[in-house]
Amino acid sequence: MADIGHLRHDFDKNPALSIEETPSDPFAFFDQWFAQTRQTPAIAEPNAFVLTTVNAQHKPRSRSVLLKYYDQQGLVFFTTRTSPFAFPGITWSDKF
């Protein structure tokens, strides 16, 4: 068995999230967070995320999507019909 403990990212270097400093409007908060994320060179595609849905049998399915637009109405994102589903909760990325 291989010891891969050294691969862990040190999340303690990131600033703590303070509820008192968080905007009460979730879209304002997202805008603030997304602006900061876009300025992070290590994140190649800050608009990429994993969307997970659940069918009528409560079976989750996840798909990688790209955010194209957002405002107070909501988020607009896209994917292709042929994109493979990801394993729920697991993403493989070189972005971080």
Contacts of residue 88, defined as CB under 8 A and 6 or more positions apart, other chains included, come to 52, 60, 61, 62
DSSP classification of residue 61: E
Q: Note whether residue 76 is domain-resident.
A: yes
Do 88 and 62 form a contact (C-beta atoms < 8 A)? yes
- Higher pLDDT among residues 54 and 90, named by residue: 54
pLDDT of residue 84: 59
Q: Note whether residue 92 is domain-resident.
A: no
Which tokens in the block code for residue 85?
């589903």
CATH number at residue 44: 2.30.110.10
Region 56-66 average pLDDT = 88
* pLDDT surpassing 70 at residue 95: no
Domain count, the chain: 1
Q: Note whether residue 46 is domain-resident.
A: yes
pLDDT of residue 5: 82
- Higher pLDDT among residues 90 and 26, named by residue: 26
* pLDDT surpassing 60 at residue 65: yes
Domain that holds residue 61: 20-86
Q: Tell me the per-residue pLDDT of 18-48, one tens digit each, with 9 for 90 and over.
A: 888 888 898 988 898 899 889 888 888 889 8
